[in-house]
Amino acid sequence: MIPVVIPAKNEKDNLENTVNSLRKTADYAKEELFIVVVDDGSSDNTAEIAEKLGCNVVSLPDRGYSALGMPELANTHNTGFEYIDKNLAVDSYEYLMVVGADTEFEDEYLSLLIQAMEKDEKLVMCAGVLNGIKTNYDAVRGSGRLIKNSFWSKLGRRLPNIYYSWESYPIIYALSNGYKARTIYEAKMSTPREPMGRVDFKKYGIAMKENGSIFIYVFLRALKRLIKHKDFKGFYRMLYGYLFSKPNLYDKELRSYNKQRQIKRIFGLENKN
């Protein structure tokens, strides 16, 4: 049994494909799923579609604005995790999963992630590659993320809801405590939306300030955005968010670890084992 949280807001055009794809990859891996769709105040029939698909559904009221990239979006995910904890014994499953409502998977996706976990007991979190876009080896994507349940308990079984970088928090927490988080490059997933297409880069800059990112690392990320996508607005807003925001900060130990990690990455000194 693998519990899955799918946060969804106005996803009537994508949810069915996501759920069907998820069930296919679970069948390939010979796993049973417990799918929880958290309807985050949709104005369409997302919740109705989820119910027809046989998912467990939790409906939240419309907050009146988009929480995309905001700390409060962690609460949508936490609602799903709380539902799982209320309905399944904590020790009845080894892994749990988070999936975006617009994500589809190749059949072997879940099997590849589980195999990677089984080969390395220190690996506690992994995800595949989205739309063929290569990511850093430890930059575990939010959608398609498989998490070891024992580690999830150490994390407190919730995502922090005070940070813009709440989605990165489990990765940095894991790495700083001697665990591993990995991108599994053989595992493929896709979305009809452009990855990073809806990102507010000011919030992205704020998130990097929270997690202790060093300025040169942030500047290089912003410069990559400018060169690759000709996105001067994204370049400017990322730097503005980092330089002029006063957000909640990660604990000193986590920020210090992340700074050292980025310095090693810039100078090619990382140990990727």
Q: pLDDT tens-digit profile of 198-247?
A: 889 999 999 999 999 999 999 999 999 999 999 999 999 999 999 999 99
SS (H, E, C) the chain: CEEEEEEECCCCCCHHHHHHHHHHHHHHCCCCEEEEEEEECCCCCHHHHHHHCCCEEEEECCCCCCCCCCCCHHHHHHHHHHHHHHHCCHHHCCEEEECCCCCEECCCHHHHHHHHHHHCCCEEEEEEEECCECCCCCCCCCCCEEEEHHHHHHHCCCCCCCCCCCCCHHHHHHHHCCCEEEEEEEEEEECCCCCCCCCCHHHHHHHHHHCCCCHHHHHHHHHHHHHHHCCHHHHHHHHHHHHHCCCCCCCHHHHHHHHHHHHHHHCCCCCCC
Q: What is residue 266's predicted lDDT score, i.e. its pLDDT?
A: 87
Q: Is the pLDDT of residue 134 over 90?
A: no
Domains and CATH numbers, the chain: 2-190 (3.90.550.10), 201-266 (no CATH)
> What pLDDT is stored for residue 198 in this prediction?
83
- Note the pLDDT of residue 177: 96
Mean pLDDT of 65-82: 95
Q: Is the pLDDT of residue 272 over 80?
A: no
Q: What is the pLDDT of residue 95?
A: 98
Among 27-31, 90-94, 129-133, 153-157, the minimum mean pLDDT is found in: 129-133
Which pLDDT score is estimated for 156?
A: 97
Residues 142-200: tens digit of each pLDDT: 999 999 999 999 999 999 999 999 999 999 999 999 999 999 999 999 999 887 778 89
Mean pLDDT score, 135-141? 91
The pLDDT, as a whole number, for residue 162 is: 97
Residue 273 binned pLDDT confidence (cut-offs 50, 70, 90): low
